Structure 1
Amino acid sequence: MALRNAVLAALLDGEASGYDLAKDFDAAVANFWMATPQQLYRELERMEAEGLIEARLVRQERRPDKRLFSLTPAGRRSLREFTAAPARPAALRDELLVKLYAVDEGDGDAVREAITERLAWSRAKLARYDRLRARLLDGRTEDAYLAGAERIGPYLTLMGGRALEQQTIRWAEQVLAVLERRASVPR
């Protein structure tokens, strides 16, 4: 998937600056798509040149002027075409899994440390997702939110991100338990 499709989808929530989009990517979109601010700004320029988005300049007194981006009809068409096309399965390429695969020949302590770091990272990410979920629900039940929300896509992708982090936590805990048991057995 091209970064542009994730940007187009993020702009469905309305006009946003590059800075706002970068924050949105970090907070909400990161559960399914990662991009650096530099990548995002380059893509915004390309998309504007292709007519998928348009920008308007907002003058600010005490800050630099900012550009607010919004979808054009061509951008909406492009997003509809993207959503209509079949989705390809995600390809998993994870350096940590390669290290774990080779743990019997490598440094078991270093692999355990890497798994522990991944576990901490996933717990922190799940906590961020839970805070975002609470903000979206705003005191409503999930059923009430899903029945009345203008857009449910952001919530549904958030639930996918939460499920992924919950599974990663369970997996990492299991892996650490196995590695600890094996480390305690004399060989």
Structure 2
Amino acid sequence: MSLRYGILGFLSKWEASGYDIKREFDDVMSVFWHSHLSQIYPELNKLEKEELISSELVPQAGKPDKKVYTITRKGREWLMNWLLAPPEAPKMKDVFLMQTFFMDNIPVGEVLLKLQMYKKERQQRLDKMREIIQIRWESIKERNVMKARILMSTAVLKRGMEQEIQYIKWCEETIRLVEACKNLWGKEEAAQTQNTYAETEHAEVPFPTAVSFSEVEDIFLEYFGDLIDDKGRNR
């Protein structure tokens, strides 16, 4: 449902084609929302049938006519009602965290590799956001204009950057945690385990090893830092 309000939000300030809207979703909106053209065009059709937006064909020299959408009065009312309504509680779906939860099923070498690769992906996202905000910053200075939409979209970018920085930090800390507790994946050396896994598609992981918590308590306390209440510390 939120996709339609994102579209209405874009059209609240200017008319746009489906491609223009997709480009906006790929820019700042990518911080918190991802959408394909295959999702945007059906939603545009629904919005037009519900008379929340209207469209017209705009002639283009040497190109097919472009369909441009505009928000209607009814659509603006729907958008305002949505903006003023209490926000829904976030429903988190993080595939990588789901995978991480069950990584005791794969060799420790693969665990470390996946964490390192994912850290790299999040760093690339952060670099992209920094590039976007740099371009926007230069554009704002050049035009010497500030609007409420620019202000609030910049706030969203800041939140997205903070989120990526925190995710990268979590990856780094978790890599150190796993490296300090490699023996929990079995008695074989991590290198042997990784080589064995690479040789066959479904290689078995060495039987997991259990140790007393006291052996890893200091490692855990360092990992969680201030997130654990002092009462839970066994000093």
Q: Same fold (TM over 0.5)?
A: yes
Deviations along 1:73-118, one digit per CA (max 9) or x if unpaired, are: 1111111100111111212122221221222233333333332232
Matches within 5 A, 1:21-100: 21-100=21-100
2:177 maps to 178
CA distance in 2, matches of 1:21, 1:139: 20
Secondary structure, in 3 states, of the residue corresponding to 2:81? helix
Contact 1:60 1:66 (C-alpha < 8 Å) held by counterparts: yes
Q: Please tell me the root mean square deviation across aligned C-alpha atoms, in Å.
A: 2.4
Aligned residues: 183
CA distance in 2, matches of 1:11, 1:121: 32
Identity %: 27
CA distance in 2, matches of 1:18, 1:64: 14
2:122 maps to 122
Pick closer, same or farther for the CA change 1:113–1:8 going to 2, 3 Å.
farther
Structure 1 gap ranges (5+): none
1:138 maps to 138
Secondary structure, in 3 states, of the residue corresponding to 2:54? strand
2:162 maps to 163
TM-score, with length taken from structure 2: 0.70
Deviation (angstroms), 1:183: 2.9
Contact 1:8 1:76 (C-alpha < 8 Å) held by counterparts: yes
CA distance in 2, matches of 1:173, 1:20: 37
Contact 1:53 1:69 (C-alpha < 8 Å) held by counterparts: yes
CA distance in 2, matches of 1:22, 1:158: 18
- Larger of the two Rg values belongs to structure: 2
Pick closer, same or farther for the CA change 1:10–1:166 going to 2, 3 Å.
farther
Pick closer, same or farther for the CA change 1:122–1:12 going to 2, 3 Å.
farther
1:6 maps to 6
Deviation (angstroms), 1:138: 2.0
CA distance in 2, matches of 1:132, 1:172: 24
CA distance in 2, matches of 1:85, 1:122: 32
CA distance in 2, matches of 1:136, 1:8: 22
- 1:149 lines up with 2:147 in the alignment: yes
Deviations along 1:10-55, one digit per CA (max 9) or x if unpaired, are: 2234111111111111112111111111100110111111111121
Structure 2 gap ranges (5+): 188-235
